[in-house]
Amino acid sequence: MGRFIVRRALFGLVVLTIISFAVFWLFFVFAPGDKAGNFCGKNCTPERLAQIRALYHLDEPWYSQYWLYVKRLVLHGDLGYSFTNQTPVRSIIFDRAPATASLALGAAVIWLSLGIPIGILAATKPRSLRDRAATIFALGGLSIPTFVLGLVMLYLFFYQLTIHGVAFFPGNGYAPLTENPWEWVKHLILPWFTLAIVSAASYSRITRGSLLEVLGEDYIRTARAKGLSERRVIYRHGLRSALTPVVTLLGIDVGTLLGGAIVTEQVFGLQGIGQTAVQAVINGDLPIIFGTVLFAAVFIVVANILVDIAYAMLDARVRLA
Amino acid sequence: MTLIAADEVAEQKGGGGKDPQPTKAIEGRAPLQLAWARLRKDKVSLACLGVIVLLVLVAIFANQLTDLIGHPPNEQYRDEGLQPNGLPVAPSSFFWLGGDEVGRDVLSRIIHGARVSLLVGVVATAFAVLIGVTIGTMAGYFGGVIDTFLSRTMDVFLSFPFLLFAISLVAVKGASLRISIFVIAFFIWANVGRIVRGQVLSIREKEYVEAARSLGASDLRIMVVDVIPNLVAPVIVYSTLLIPTAIVFEATLSFLGLGVPIPTPTWGNMIATSQSTYLQAPWYLLFPSLALFITTLAFNLLGDGLRDALDPRAARVLARK
Amino acid sequence: MTAAQPEVDHAGRDVNTQAGDVLLKVEGAKKYFPIKQGIIFQKEVARVHAVDGVDLEVRSGETLGLVGETGCGKSTLARLIAGLYPMTAGTVSFDGSDITNLSRKKMRPFRRDIQMIFQDPYGSLNPRRRVGSIIGDPFDIHGVADGAERKKRVQELMEVVGLNPEHFNRFPAEFSGGQRQRIGVARALALRPKLIICDEPVSALDVSIQAQVINLLDDLQNEFGLTYIFIAHDLSVVRHVSDRVAVMYLGKIMETGPVDDLYGLPRHPYTNALLSAVPIPDPDRADSRERIILRGDVPSPVNPPTGCPFHPRCPKAQDICVQEMPPLEPVFVDPPTHRTACHFPVPEGEDISQCTPGIDQSGTGPLVGADLSAITTGS
């Protein structure tokens, strides 16, 4: 197990190196025109141009630029400074991370508590009315784009309630949990449900599918044959192995979202990593783009490793070579 | 063992190879024909197929349709299409689905938006499937070092924070239809590749592949004649489910302002621009959203039906219960 | 081979007086499968000794039966001969030419002469292709016949193997197991090969269908002068079809000889154990016979036992069996065609169920262990 984790971690580092390299290559080699001018933006001053050239060693060949960037990151944890407001990228990311984390983790709790029970209900009575209802919910949820659902939520629960005098939900923004937990919940409830409904669909689908498959296995028939109650068969014997794919999906989804729930943050004006990244892309704020892409990639890589480990622990058939 | 007696018994039972009576149905039914026969009984899937065919026709004849309506998609009707206070007009006999923020016909724009959505969805999926099937087949068929290398490459692609990376790429290269298709295909092919590889790993062990090899067939011939035809069913199902993913991906890029550039109408950029006025003009949010939702839902439902039709095993799992 | 054609049968079986030329010669064949570990750089951690030094000769026109338990390497040996796996060591020569580890291109002409029939009638036919094109594959791959000519030949083949030529356009799923095996036979026959390797061609079929397929193979042998290597784990089937038999255990040949010699006077304790497990239809005789129950399971081919691979289970094992693999040679008064690889071969009349080994076999597991009857009757 230890060797497996070390090997996975090493491969994770390789992935991060490739991703950082790809982003670097994208902006420094692939992008056309004068790099310093591009990064400098519209309100460019000669001083800033010089500063950017010096900071990114733009006069040197691209590989040594990359090397210097990586060296600074590894040795000092330094991701550089934002072009637009001169703040360190690291502190911007740490500033915005709590909003993203609150959104992703809260939504995950909701979509699990929606998706898994719906999946179980559907699987225990396949082809029944409730199975059909679950299917409609799942396919509807799968088909509705996040930003559409978000805007509909805003229209119904923010705008319609507000014009009818119930100004309960704030339309946008984020309130830190540490300052005011109630405000935190009020600000996050619509984004949570938006994200959760869209995701719960695939969770109910996967739970249903894998539980149905497991319930068709011989050992379940054996469990039934020896007279266990249907409840016990499903919850003790079936669900355990049926939930393995759910764990896989959960790890990857949460990992991806922690690196920035771009669309949801954008719709609800939540100042998280995702919104910061989109702003940076629009402003051409290169250090922030680098920082957020790497930050997001770290979560995805770590999530993948955790999923593999969880998989091995849940499923006795998987042996880590 | 008394072989002669056994032989006679078998002949009497008519279990022998020689068929004494001339048979009526000599033409065998291909597995895909059987699937089509099953699909034809599935009303929901047929309806979805109808919706998709209709959408394709609308996209192809978009110009003729908007000529018929009399409102070209980019024509601004400042008098009839805007309220005196500058807000969009509601649905009426003039604009059946209302107008947008500069007085254009929402219906005409939705019709033209179907072009972009379907084009991006289908073309990006086609590229992704092409690359995914090629790489996945090679990885699964050859195994060894080739498999290790290709699988790890796919893992790297799946570890990219793809939406973030996609918008960075679009920001550097400038938004266009071509870059949207490229970006989407670039980030979904690895999913196809991984699924195909898994399938090929099991097909490779089949005796008919060994039989082909013992006849002296080349690797290329085995892949084309024996392996890829057996991938048709899962690839059809998966592509049907990838198209809506690609459509939503395109709409998301457009929504974030990084899709097909304006003034080309897309469902995504219509929804994005509706944000500024949708509290007063909800139809402007509603109709493009509905178009997007119905399209993705139709593909998802069809994919679901296709899975049942092409993989009767799923039905058998149900029957066993 | 069948009772229906006794003349041919005896002529074919009497290898001592009327042997054809040597068609296939296998010398020192070894196949080790590496077991690898690692994510990016894989290193070999162990090897499966699937075939471990096999010498074999097949004369043209005869049927060589190859028997052994599941996992003894008989199918791997078949695939080595067919050139499906590269060999770790040893040589294969066919019709006088060395075909060991030939490149794909150089192997091609020999593939026309060496064909295989596979075990699983469901797995060996691509479910997505029509029967006509499956049987026509050999013509296509070797560029022999095209278009209408190919169709004509395919239909002739279907006729020959007892299929309705009208069913040309059907899919494998529309045929029964026995009919599918006939399709496999037709495909193997297409290029008029000299040697057909039958890898358990009837194991997956019902007993009544087995007889049909065996009789078909027999008729084809007479009609086209084919040579067979017939692999099976069912001793009765092998006895019925073969002229000569080779018994394999853990990648090695333990005993080989003309079928009547080997079944009449089995010399190797392992052959004795296998034969004692064959059910006898007469209950009186069955009762009087002692069944030899072997100790433990077949050892893992990853770490095969030293010396004679059978020593951990052999009732006659002594110290020398642990140290040395005995050569495969005639024992007692056996003719040169009947060879046995054993230090302590079984003389006529000895009941080896009464023997006690001279070495400690406690590492091989409890005495209850393997009852070979399930293996040898093919159930």
Whether B159 sits inside 8 A of A301 (CB atoms) is: yes
Whether B160 sits inside 8 A of A297 (CB atoms) is: yes
> How far is C147 from chain B, CA to nearest CA, in Å?
18
Tell me which chain C residues have a C-beta less than 8 angstroms from the C-beta of A321: 37-38
Domain ranges of chain B: 113-311
The CA distance from B310 to B303, in Å, is 10
Neighbouring residues of C180: CB distance < 8 A, sequence distance ≥ 6: C121, C122, C124, C125, C172
Per-residue pLDDT of chain C (379 residues; tens, 9 = 90+): 443 333 333 334 443 334 578 889 888 888 888 877 655 555 677 788 888 888 888 998 899 999 988 778 888 898 888 888 888 888 888 888 888 888 888 888 888 889 999 888 888 888 888 888 899 888 988 888 888 888 889 998 998 888 888 888 888 888 888 888 899 999 998 888 999 999 888 888 888 888 888 889 988 998 888 999 999 888 888 888 899 999 998 888 999 999 888 888 888 888 888 888 777 666 666 666 666 777 677 778 888 888 888 888 888 888 888 888 888 888 888 888 899 998 888 888 777 777 777 777 766 544 444 445 444 443 3
Tell me which chain A residues have a C-beta less than 8 angstroms from the C-beta of B301: 139
Check residue C96 and report its DSSP letter: T
Q: What is the number of residues in chain A? A: 321
Q: What is the pLDDT of residue C16?
A: 39
Q: Who wins on pLDDT, A41 or C342?
A: C342
**pLDDT surpassing 60 at residue A313:** yes
> How far is C37 from chain A, CA to nearest CA, in Å?
6
List the chains bordering chain C where 3 or more Cβ pairs fall under 8 Å. Answer: A, B
- Cα torsion at B164, B168, B174, B176 (round to 10°)? -20
**pLDDT surpassing 80 at residue A3:** no
* Distance separating the N- and C-terminal Cα atoms of chain B: 40
Whether B289 sits inside 8 A of A266 (CB atoms) is: no
ipTM of predicted complex: 0.82
What long-range pairs does C266-269 form, CB within 8 A, spacing at least 24? C266/C346, C267/C331, C267/C332, C267/C334, C267/C338, C267/C340, C267/C342, C267/C345, C267/C346, C268/C310, C268/C340, C268/C341, C268/C342, C268/C345, C268/C346, C269/C310, C269/C314, C269/C315, C269/C316, C269/C342, C269/C344, C269/C346, C269/C352, C269/C355
The CA distance from B98 to C31, in Å, is 76
Tell me which chain A residues have a C-beta less than 8 angstroms from the C-beta of C39: 7, 11
Least confident of A120-134, A165-179, B271-285: A165-179
Tell me which chain A residues have a C-beta less than 8 angstroms from the C-beta of C38: 321
List the chains bordering chain A where 3 or more Cβ pairs fall under 8 Å. Answer: B, C
Whether B28 sits inside 8 A of C182 (CB atoms) is: no
Q: In what order do the strands lie in the sheet with C195-199?
A: C114-117, C195-199, C227-232, C63-67, C244-249, C252-258, C339-340
DSSP letters, B143-171, are -HHHHHHHHHHHHHHHHS-HHHHHHHHHH
> How far is C127 from chain A, CA to nearest CA, in Å?
24
Answer yes or no: are the C-beta atoms of B250 and B184 closer than 8 Å.
yes
Whether B7 sits inside 8 A of C212 (CB atoms) is: yes
From residue B122, give the alpha-carbon distance in Å to each of B20, B59, B133: 50, 12, 16
The CA distance from C197 to C219, in Å, is 16
Nearest residue of chain A to residue B168 (CA atoms): A281
Answer yes or no: are the C-beta atoms of B310 and B239 closer than 8 Å.
no
pLDDT per position as a tens digit, B91-120: 777 677 777 777 777 788 888 888 888 898
Answer yes or no: are the C-beta atoms of C235 and C67 closer than 8 Å.
yes
Tell me which chain B residues have a C-beta less than 8 angstroms from the C-beta of A223: none
Nearest residue of chain C to residue A8 (CA atoms): C39
Closest by Cβ to B167, choosing from A11, A22, A278 = A278
Nearest residue of chain B to residue C112 (CA atoms): B215
Sheet strands (E) in chain C: 22-37, 43-59, 63-67, 89-94, 97-98, 114-117, 195-199, 227-232, 244-249, 252-258, 339-340
pLDDT per position as a tens digit, A178-213: 777 787 887 888 889 999 988 888 888 888 888 888
Least confident of A37-41, A126-130, A270-274: A37-41
pLDDT grade for B250, boundaries at 50, 70 and 90: confident
Q: What is the pLDDT of residue C256?
A: 92
Mutate to test the interface with C, among B12, B208, B223, B224 (most CBs of C within 10 A): B208
Q: What is the pLDDT of residue B137?
A: 92
* C37 and A CB contact within 8 Å: yes
> How far is A258 from chain C, CA to nearest CA, in Å?
28
Domain ranges of chain A: 2-89, 95-320
Angle between helices A273-283 and B162-173 (to 10 degrees): 10
pLDDT per position as a tens digit, C116-148: 998 888 888 888 888 888 998 889 888 888 888
Angle between helices A181-215 and A244-258 (to 10 degrees): 150
Tell me which chain B residues have a C-beta less than 8 angstroms from the C-beta of C83: 214
The CA distance from A196 to A246, in Å, is 15
Whether A259 sits inside 8 A of B161 (CB atoms) is: yes
Which CATH number fits the domain A95-320, given the four candidates 1.10.3720.10, 2.70.70.10, 1.10.10.1100, 1.20.810.10? 1.10.3720.10
Cα C214 to chain centroid, rounded: 14
Tell me which chain A residues have a C-beta less than 8 angstroms from the C-beta of B155: 11, 15, 304
Whether B210 sits inside 8 A of C84 (CB atoms) is: yes
Helix (H) or strand (E) holding B51: helix B43-60
**Judging by beta carbons within 10 Å of its beta carbon (0-12, 13-18, 19+), is residue B20 exposed, middle or buried?**
exposed
Tell me which chain B residues have a C-beta less than 8 angstroms from the C-beta of C167: 19, 23, 26, 28
The CA distance from A124 to C120, in Å, is 36
Superfamily of domain C1-113+193-363: P-loop containing nucleotide triphosphate hydrolases (3.40.50.300)
pLDDT grade for B128, boundaries at 50, 70 and 90: very high
Q: What is the pLDDT of residue B131?
A: 94
pLDDT grade for A314, boundaries at 50, 70 and 90: low
Check residue B114 and report its DSSP letter: H
Whether A19 sits inside 8 A of B320 (CB atoms) is: no
> How far is A5 from chain C, CA to nearest CA, in Å?
12
pLDDT per position as a tens digit, B6-39: 333 333 333 344 444 444 444 555 667 777 777 7
CATH no., domain B113-311 = 1.10.3720.10
